[in-house]
Structure 1
Amino acid sequence: MDRLEDRMCNKHDRLLELFCQTEQVCVCQFCTVTDHRSHPIVTLKEEYDMKTAQLGKIEAEVPQMIQERQKNIQEIKETVKRSKADADREIADGAQVLTALMRCIEKCQEDLNQMVKERLKDTEKQAEDLIKELEQEIEDLTNRSSEVRQLSNTKDHLHFLQAFRSLKDPPPTRDCTKVEIRPPFYVGTLRRSLDQLNEKLNMEIKNLRNVAELKRVQQYEVDVTLDPDTAHPRLILSEDGKQVHAGDVVNYLPDNRKRFKQYMHVLTRQSFSSGRFYFEVQAKDRTVWSLGVARESINRVGGIIETPGNGLWILDSNTNGLVFKDNPAVCLPLKAKLQKVGVFVDYDEGLVSFYDVEARVHIYSATGCTFSEPLYPFLSLSHYGGINSPPLIISPAIETD
């Protein structure tokens, strides 16, 4: 044997042919009756076979562990890449917003300067006209004075009396005590201008913020199509799965556990269990509809109270207005009929947001939601909307300027 001394027990000078499982060391026969008397002992071959099996398991696990870490590295790189893209987009959006605000301030300054100049111009015109009028009066009075002086030097009585009779009546003149020009009054002008600027800036900031927010969520747009296996028998879907409208008859369709039996609901084929997603639905010229997201286990047979507690996060439009279905329901202000609705979901953050795409306005957000199963985009019609009403259309997002 090579290096036999390494295979000998240092204490008993005997061959190391056994293994102590308690202290995980090789021992000789004498060790088993002395220091390792109460410890479980096996042969080197038995321990070798056991450790070899463990080593094979470790060897099999290592590539998987390497693959998992490589995947983590790739995910981290993707996160950094997305973060950089988000940062660049934020800088660009910030520059756009600030440029717009600067233009608004410059416009306010131009308006203020124009108003002050116009007031000054009106004052100068008024003064110019008054000066011309007074100069004309001076000229008329000077001529009259010359005539009077010339007549006063006449010694011929007949000529004097004849000339005096033809002497013109004095020209009309202003009362000099009332001649004045009021200078422009600028007190409060700047304050009113700043108040108007503040109002414009607040409106501009709100609009730009809405546009920026809509642009951010639109980048998470997903391509979804309606699932005919979930559609209520009265619903009619387009061939491409992008449109749905209500029919006038109940179709006899294959029964399955996915189909809604009582209400005219339909889900998409695609579901989402993590991350963020966004889709838009055109509801143009249609008054009664509902849309949002539903969890996979939603009741599809009987009636259901449409609330987050029952797995529905939906926006409802009806003849009375716009409502987010909750307990209690949240009535929402609406300035005009919705033409296109955007729905954004952050699964991990528990957020569902709705947007008026045409007006670029945030409508409502449900926060603090708890999602524990896949979510499906959800559309719903009602017979109150009429069978000839326009369809709901899942349409691609048009990037907001």
Structure 2
Amino acid sequence: MASPGSALSAEQFQCPICLDVLSDPVSTPCGHNFCGPCIKANWDVSVVCQCPLCKETFFRRPVLKVNTTLREVADHVRSQRDSGHDLTPAQPGEVPCDVCSGDGGRRLRALKSCLDCGTSFCALHLELHQRAPKLQRHTLTEPLQNPEERVCQKHRRPLELFCRDDLTCVCEFCTEGEHKNHNMVPLEEEGKDRKSQLSKTQAELKSMIQERQEKIAEIKHSVELSRLSAEAEAAAVCELFSVLLLALERSRSNLQGALEARQRAVETRAEELTHTLQQEIHTLQSRDAQLEELTHTHDHLHLLQTLQQEIHTLQSRDAQLEELTHTHDHLHLLQVYTSVCVLPPSKSWSLVSVRTYQDVDSLRPLVSRLETLINRDMDDLHEMQLKRVQQFTELSKVQQYAVDVTLDPDTANSFLQLSEDRKQVCCVERRQKLPEAAGRFERAACVLGREGFCSRFYFQVEVSGKTSWDVGVARDSVTRRGKVKASPETGYWTVSLRDGRKLVAKETNPIPLAVGAGLRKVGVSVDYPRGVVSFYDVTNMSHLYSFTGQRFTGKLRPLLSPGQREKGKNSAPLVICVDRPIT
């Protein structure tokens, strides 16, 4: 019969025909085992007598006898299987029985591990712990890969207690020795406490994951808003240029129309003058033709008659003038003066000319001025866009040094109230009863951050809805008693808002800043090695002010002052809202 230490499984004693544990097993001459009824039935229906496994043919049907030893083993395996014992060999990753040796090194799957013995047992070898009274007092657990780790190396007893003083697992004997009078709890109790802490930690991790997922969504939303804003600005620029081009085209068309109208007027005037001159030329040519004809004529009689006629006309005019010269009849003189004394109307062509407009150069100063204005506006627009990109890049760089700021309640003025998470601060109407603290601000309504820094760091504060506040950093060693005058000389680097619109940088002589109303989120960046404290309008991605050339000593801590209540107008809190960059 098989020894108790051998690995027995139903698969090892399986009939190849019925696939069940062997029943009345017989062996063929070729060495294979089958159930007696199964092999007999197989050969009864077969024309050729051969082994179902190796197909060896037997010319004469062998006489098979039951293998009694094999039958006992097979019956034992069947009884173990039917009693519910797991006799399956251990698979990779499962705990094997430490007692089984098995053929080929195969060991059965362990059902339990004994902490007292430091050994794992399969179903067969576990029976002794279930029957023997002394072994029944041993501590059995689920199968363990290394039970020795659960046993006290000094007393060889199970580790059943947890020492909260030394934060280690101990056995019962340890409580009488070096861990005597220590705070001891069962492992199960400590495990439950640790599980609850793990649950809290897991909840915090999930919250952090969700927070970062929301931040990713917020960043994607910001990128989308930026894209929409860029598209809107591009559309506005296109519309601006369209209007500008339309205005330029209209101006060009008007100027061209004026030039064409002037040219048409010049041409009309020239045509009129030309026509008049041509008429006069025609008259003169007629007279010249007459004179030419008289010059070459051979009809002296006609020539003399013509000359005499003109002489007679001229003599008649001269006589009239002579008569009028000596007349005393002034009325008659005035009546005939116009027709006799005044020469017939004629045009003085010496003063007549056609004006030519060869003054194109006069337009060039106007065009040059227009070009200068357009280029200046384009340069201003490009400079504004470039400045916004530079400010966005600068703000993105300093945000890489973002830190998680929490406020220190031991420094808060008694009129200031902090939120539970120490991320918000507001001013209350009545002084609170707070514990005495040497570092508490006595008169100034200020509070410092819990952590101090001697390196680069950055944080942001939500200031929307407020009309008065102070935000910045201060030396850890600043005096907090009496009245505080904030300036770099006293260890404060801050900007402040008053009356909802007056934003100033607290230099020795306060410097007014352009931005005030509408400021929603302030970013504070400290470059400790370079001695620079910078402030940013995070919403508009613009730079507000920088304290430069500073020499820092000791740690710098964030400083917030929500300002006093102003009839409910300044009751909103200052909120620390650091946006950590995604790397």
Under a length normalisation based on structure 2, what TM-score does the superposition of the two structures give?
A: 0.38
SS at match of 1:297: coil
Matches within 5 A, 1:282-297: 282-297=462-477
Greater strand percent: which structure?
1
SS at match of 2:401: coil
1:306 aligned partner, one-letter code: A
Offset, 1:298: 0.8
Distance 1:303 1:259 in 2: 13
The reply to whether residue 381 of structure 1 matches residue 562 of structure 2 is yes
Partner of 1:249: 430
Residues 256-288 of structure 1 deviation map (CA, whole Å, 9 limit, x = unaligned): 1121121111011111012x1111101101011
2:406 aligned partner, one-letter code: T
2:402 aligned partner, one-letter code: E
2:493 aligned partner, one-letter code: W
Partner of 2:573: 391
SS at match of 1:383: coil
Partner of 2:518: 337
1:254 aligned partner, one-letter code: P
Residues 368/117 of structure 1: CA separation in 2 closer, same or farther (3 Å cut) = same
Distance 1:123 1:330 in 2: 51
Offset, 1:335: 5.5
Given that residues 429 and 565 in structure 2 are in contact (C-alpha distance below 8 angstroms), is that contact kept between their aligned partners in structure 1? no
Offset, 1:224: 0.6
Distance 1:114 1:331 in 2: 42
Partner of 1:306: 486
Offset, 1:316: 1.3
Given that residues 356 and 363 in structure 1 are in contact (C-alpha distance below 8 angstroms), is that contact kept between their aligned partners in structure 2? yes
The reply to whether residue 236 of structure 1 matches residue 420 of structure 2 is no
Distance 2:554 2:567 in 1: 34
Residues 191/222 of structure 1: CA separation in 2 closer, same or farther (3 Å cut) = same
Residues 13-36 of structure 1 deviation map (CA, whole Å, 9 limit, x = unaligned): xxxxxxxxxxxxxxxxxxxxxxxx
The higher relative CO (CA closer than 8 Å, separation ≥ 6) is in: 1
Residues 358/121 of structure 1: CA separation in 2 closer, same or farther (3 Å cut) = same
SS at match of 2:386: helix
Given that residues 286 and 385 in structure 1 are in contact (C-alpha distance below 8 angstroms), is that contact kept between their aligned partners in structure 2? no
Given that residues 415 and 445 in structure 2 are in contact (C-alpha distance below 8 angstroms), is that contact kept between their aligned partners in structure 1? yes
The reply to whether residue 346 of structure 1 matches residue 519 of structure 2 is no
Residues 114/272 of structure 1: CA separation in 2 closer, same or farther (3 Å cut) = same
Distance 2:255 2:387 in 1: 39
SS at match of 1:260: coil
Distance 2:373 2:512 in 1: 36
Residues 336/303 of structure 1: CA separation in 2 closer, same or farther (3 Å cut) = closer
2:542 to 354, 361, 372: 361
Residues 250/109 of structure 1: CA separation in 2 closer, same or farther (3 Å cut) = closer
Offset, 1:195: 2.5
The reply to whether residue 218 of structure 1 matches residue 399 of structure 2 is yes
The structure number with the bigger radius of gyration is 2
Distance 2:567 2:241 in 1: 54
Distance 2:242 2:399 in 1: 36
- After TM superposition, the structure 1 stretch with the greater mean CA deviation from structure 2, 228-237 or 207-216, is 207-216
Residues 279/116 of structure 1: CA separation in 2 closer, same or farther (3 Å cut) = same
Percent sequence identity over aligned pairs:
37
Aligned residues: 249
Matches within 5 A, 1:116-195: 187-188=367-368, 189-195=370-376
The reply to whether residue 278 of structure 1 matches residue 463 of structure 2 is no
Given that residues 473 and 559 in structure 2 are in contact (C-alpha distance below 8 angstroms), is that contact kept between their aligned partners in structure 1? yes
Given that residues 497 and 516 in structure 2 are in contact (C-alpha distance below 8 angstroms), is that contact kept between their aligned partners in structure 1? no
Instruction: Provide structure 2 residue ranges, at least 5 long, that are not aligned to the other structure.
Output: 1-226, 259-359
Distance 1:347 1:315 in 2: 18
Given that residues 415 and 432 in structure 2 are in contact (C-alpha distance below 8 angstroms), is that contact kept between their aligned partners in structure 1? yes
